[in-house]
Amino acid sequence: MLATAIIVFREVLEAALIVGIVMAATQGVSNRSLWVGGGIGGGALGAVVVAGFAETLAAAMAGIGQEVFNAAILFAAVAMLGWHNVWMRRHASELAGAANRLGAAVRAGTQPLWALGFAVGLAVLREGSEVVLFLYGIAAAGQDGAAAMALGGALGLVAGVAAGAAIYFGLVHIPMRHLFSVTGWLILLLAAGMASQGAAFLLQADLLPPLGQSLWDTSFLLSEQSLTGRVLHTLIGYTAQPAGIQLVFYLGTLLVIGGLMRLVGTPARAPRPNDAAAARRTQLQPGE
Amino acid sequence: MRALVLAVLIVLFTSFSAVADPGPVTITIKDHAFVPAEVKIPAGAKVELTIRNEQAVPAEFESASLHREKVVSPGSAISVYVGPLQRGRYEFFDDFHPATRGVVVVE
């Protein structure tokens, strides 16, 4: 039962951390539960379908179906996260222009949520399909009692969700005026880590050259199998022994998304009438 | 001219990677053990590993040093290419049952 709980926890953890960050990044957006909830629900449904076709998927495309599918999901999620960050930067001046907490929340409320909803769905789909496969395998083999398996699975799920909740509540402690730049950085690093993972799948499928099997090996410092290693793997793309191509994709993603953010970001903005009004409001409400 | 350059490049490229092909290697997962648990392959060669899962439960063949991660459904087989690799030990395990471990020894 404990073994089941640990494996379910590990798979849930990655998706839960992403959901936690997305929830923090959409703090104050009115219909976010609908989008994030929809992403989780849609992803879970998709996970069951993918798990059901696991064998067909593995045999597809002359045996590289699994790799191509995983890479496609990861790159789609990278695109969604990147799009979100670029959109946020494009509207950053309006968000920062809001002088108080409520104002920032209301303005952030205009951000479109489909991109993050999709990103959540894709993360749940990828991790969830492994959970379903694993649990189905145990159930089919009748190794563990059904009750013990269900309990183990539930324990793992609860622990994973708790980790996601922890990162969310940690993040929302950050003052509103800094919150979106912090979540922006986190999302950028998430995206870079996913791109590096996607590159690893294409390398496995022999569609990309390794450009160096292992650039370095830090597994003696921090194993990717440890809890900290797994959390950092999700959050910043930590890889103990990265192949060269992974570093190329990691840095490339940082450069492309970061570059686009810089490109659309409004440089030194001239004071506008509503800024002056906002400033007056702040002066009138020193307690805010 | 361009064709000539291309031809030269192809010859160069293939000659560099031309290490005797040891043929495909099959590893079976049975009763939560890899059989064989140690596989020897020559340095610099590209080798096809076939992982056959003879259990009733799915497995996930995974290795951090080989950069491989692939689900193997019960009663089926997958294959992955590894290499060309430098000499050394490259550990792998079943991510769904992490006590199940094996190693590719490159020599």
Q: pLDDT tens across A50-72, in order?
A: 999 998 999 999 999 999 999 99
> What does DSSP say about strands B25-30 and B47-53: parallel, antiparallel, or unpaired?
parallel
Q: Does residue A9 register a pLDDT over 50?
A: yes
Q: pLDDT tens across A104-152, in order?
A: 555 666 677 899 999 999 999 999 999 999 998 888 777 667 788 889 9
Q: Does residue A27 register a pLDDT over 80?
A: yes
Please check whether residue B11 lies inside any domain of the structure.
no
Buried b (16+ CB within 10 A) or exposed e, A214-253: beeeebeeeebbeeebbbbbbbbbbbbbbbbbbbbbbeeb
A62 and B CB contact within 8 Å: no
Q: What order do you get walking across the sheet with B33-35 strand by strand?
A: B33-35, B25-30, B47-53, B77-82
Q: Is the pTM of this model over 0.95?
A: no
Task: Say if the Cβ atoms of A66 and B71 lie within 8 Å.
Answer: yes
Task: Say if the Cβ atoms of B81 and A66 lie within 8 Å.
Answer: no
Chain B residue numbers with beta carbons less than 8 Å from the beta carbon of A226 are none
Angle between helices A32-52 and A2-25 (to 10 degrees): 140
Please check whether residue B98 lies inside any domain of the structure.
yes
- Contact between A111 and A32 under an 8 Å Cβ cutoff? The reply is no
Task: Say if the Cβ atoms of A219 and B64 lie within 8 Å.
Answer: yes
Mean pLDDT (whole number) for A248-253? 98
Closest CA to A136 of B7, B96, B86, B34: B96
Q: Does residue A219 register a pLDDT over 70?
A: yes
Please check whether residue B6 lies inside any domain of the structure.
no
B90: CATH:
2.60.40.420
Q: Does residue A79 register a pLDDT over 60?
A: yes
Q: What is the mean pLDDT of chain A?
A: 87
- Surface of B (8-67) touching A: CB under 8 A: 55-58, 60, 64-65, 67
Please check whether residue B9 lies inside any domain of the structure.
no
By CB neighbour count within 10 A (0-12 exposed, 13-18 middle, 19+ buried), where does A19 fall?
buried
For chain A, which residues make up each domain, given as ranges?
Answer: 2-266
pLDDT at A248: 98
Complex prediction ipTM: 0.81
Closest CA to A13 of A151, A130, A116, A113: A130
Domain count of chain B?
1
| Parent domain of B63 | 20-106
